[in-house]
Amino acid sequence: MDYQEICNRMIEVAREAGNFIRNERKTLTLSDVETKSPASFVTYVDKTSERMIVEALHRLIPSAGFVTEEGTAGEHGENLMWIIDPLDGTTNYIHGIYPCSVSIGMSEGGTMVAGVVYELGQDEMFYATSGGGAFLNGKAIRVAQSRHSVDTLIGTGFPYYDFERIDHYIGALKELMRTTRGLRRMGSAAVDLCYVASGRFDAFFEHALHAWDVAAGALILREAGGKVTDFNGGSNWLFGGEIIGASENYFPEFYGIVNRYLGKRLP
């Protein structure tokens, strides 16, 4: 399968959806916002964007399945699978701030092989294919080279529905506040991972995430020279609800901090 050719089409689809999302923001009102849970929202823009993406990708590979945030399509078990967030950062979007993004990933046999994240605010298209490197608007990107926390800027996200580990999470934040150049909470995990890939952040961690939040961004980060695991250093980051992403240089130190506070302890 020609992953690069597929990725090129994914870029086109993401841009088409992104243009629709950007244009609809001009007329969006609070009456268009539905509440899925106290801090989780959806609009007709999310739903329409998802339908656009699903229809276009289904035409591209009719046999592929889908994992989608808004439930437009949900076929599981196929060898090829599209993993789609039609609008990552909906809360930012409805408040008229950025970043927000379109995220499209493709897995083959359970392994991510292509990913695209289109950030609307700065018109930035991040993309990668397995073994093909990572790119931003046509230029190759690489992770930062810092090795120690004192030289790093960290991205994260705040829990908004799963507060079981909030005290441990705050413990990790306190240590990182004291030992790094600072923390940033952007509001789009897909973009956060791409910011690590492009060297803007040195690392990112978050829990209570979904596959569509991280699928494309994690591949882009790995292809840019980064490392991605769950909070215990394992591979259950796609569907396990937690992720650590960092440059290879900084990963050992950063992982040690996150794992100390948020890793699962066996009896």
> What is the mean predicted confidence (pLDDT) over 130-150?
98
Strands 182-185 and 139-140: unpaired
pLDDT of residue 22: 97
pLDDT of residue 267: 41
* Domains along the chain with CATH numbers: 3-140 (3.30.540.10), 149-261 (3.40.190.80)
Q: Per residue in 95-132, pLDDT tens?
A: 999 999 999 999 999 999 999 999 999 999 999 999 99
Q: Per residue in 152-194, pLDDT tens?
A: 999 999 987 888 899 999 999 999 999 999 999 999 999 999 9
| Dist CA 221 CA 169 (whole Å) | 23
Residue 74 has pLDDT above 60, yes or no: yes
pLDDT of residue 75: 63
pLDDT of residue 40: 81
Phi and psi at residue 235, to the nearest 5°: -100, 10
Residue 266 has pLDDT above 60, yes or no: no
Q: Which residue would you say has higher pLDDT here, 140 or 75? A: 140
How far, in Å, are 15, 17, 51, 58 from residue 8 at the CA level? 11, 15, 19, 15
